Structure 1
């Protein structure tokens, strides 16, 4: 299988389909931390098959991304496939942390377990009242969620903890390089339970916010991204961080 690979200091980046590349990887990792496509926008076939930019933002300035057009059953099947491949790579006692919105939260708790991980909880991410407001009859959708678990037993952490069960960080649009990009500071908080100096795997790297957080905190990073545009952005971003640190 041909795919593009780039090594930047402690980071190894791949451009291609995650499921195919994961099958080729053999290096054990200490944590899976990722934000896969949710495929949650749209209530019918017509709206589900629209591009992410049209579905979520309208007139988006960002590049579109792949894999956001599955219905609920095909999304669950696909998620189980790649989670099973990452389960093979994550070490005993390692972490899995996967982002979701409210629509896919119930299914994600199922597929994490179907993929072979032990489900251990949900960490809400409060985007604060600065999140996009619905009309006045709604509660704000100001939270996304991190479904987390482990491979086998979690031993007592020797470098800190217990870690916060709720994280609050507002999104600053001017800092985003990806339509669904997560704040680097949020990712730094999520990485903290992982053994210092360990390897963090992100099969849906996007613009590499997880990679930036990993390098800043002294971790190694393996990232996969299907979009050439976002792969190039990630390489540039991590090269800058590597030269800085």
Structure 2
């Protein structure tokens, strides 16, 4: 396990199931984008490399953990989600990304992990999203399954917040094959009170961290891949340095 502290960010390179037990409780939110293990209905399709399933090219480094079958993925999600519920304060937010294939499974897993499921946030990727072929409806949306650890107090600084976030993917901004736009992550931060501490167990290239740190809040991220951990560290170092100059 590798640990690095950069400003208000504490970053770990390691397996989420090994890192989570070492963390100190007190987080205000879990916002994350785990591997979907999607991209196919059958074993052979699911076992394909992420680049084959999601992009059709190898412009980005591959990532692991995306080849579980439906039952093992559900068990794995409920396991790590259950571990995070012991790390967050009562009323903490949970926001977990999913595609359409894994949406039913994730809504079960988040409840099995001990989270009170409260709804869905739709991320509309606009008509710029790719379509399989002309006979299909466009796969234009991904989803955020959201909930809380028990009772959710009224927000003192705004809301209700939009349940649909419209933001196209700009390939020029992506540092990870399945990276979410920073502007999408900014929208998810809105219910959080100032001074929040956000946990992202699947940090990737740190798209969650950038708006958290821009708010002056604290971030803890975990990433299995050394390649993407190094990218996240460099990205956060740059963001922290730029913020210090403002």
Q: Same fold (TM over 0.5)?
A: yes
Who is 1:187 aligned against? Answer: 185
Measure how far apart 1:41 and its partner are. Answer: 1.3
CA distance in 2, matches of 1:123, 1:138: 23
Distance in 2 (CA, whole Å) between partners of 1:59 and 1:37 is 18
Which one of the candidate residues 133, 139, 152 is aligned to 2:137?
139
Q: Deviations over 1:180-223 (max 9, x none)?
A: 00000110110111111110000000000000111112210000
Q: Pairwise mapping of residues 1-245 of structure 1 onto structure 2 (< 5 A)?
A: 3-245=1-243
Question: Residue deviations 1:117-143, cap 9 Å, x none?
Answer: 000000100000000122111111100
User: Any conservation in 2 of the 1:50–1:69 contact (CA below 8 Å)?
Assistant: yes
Any conservation in 1 of the 2:119–2:147 contact (CA below 8 Å)? yes
Distance in 1 (CA, whole Å) between partners of 2:26 and 2:189 is 17
The CA deviation at 1:42 is 2.2
Cα distance in 1 for residues equivalent to 2:205 and 2:232: 5
Aligned residues: 243
The answer (yes or no) to whether the contact 1:120–1:148 under 8 Å persists in 2 is yes
Structure 1 segments (4+ residues) deviating >6 Å: none
1:62–1:179 contact (8 Å) kept in structure 2: yes
Residue by residue over 1:31-61, the C-alpha shift from the partner in whole angstroms, topping out at 9 and shown as x without a partner, is: 0000000001123222221211122222321
| Preserved contact between residue 208 and residue 238 of structure 1 (Cα < 8 Å) | yes
CA RMSD of aligned residues (A): 0.9
Kept in 2, the 8 Å contact 1:171–1:182? The answer is yes
Q: Which runs of 5 or more residues in structure 2 are unaligned?
A: none
Please tell me whether the aligned partners of residues 10 and 219 of structure 2 are also in contact (alpha carbons under 8 angstroms): yes
The CA distance in 1 between the partners of 2:127 and 2:60, in whole Å, is 23
Q: TM-score, normalised by structure 1?
A: 0.97
Question: Conserved in 2, the CA contact under 8 Å of 1:188 and 1:217?
Answer: no
Q: What TM-score comes out, normalization by structure 2 length?
A: 0.97
CA shift for structure 1 position 7: 0.1
CA distance in 1, matches of 2:52, 2:31: 27
Please give the alpha-carbon distance, in whole angstroms, between the structure 2 residues aligned to 1:183 and 1:216. Answer: 15
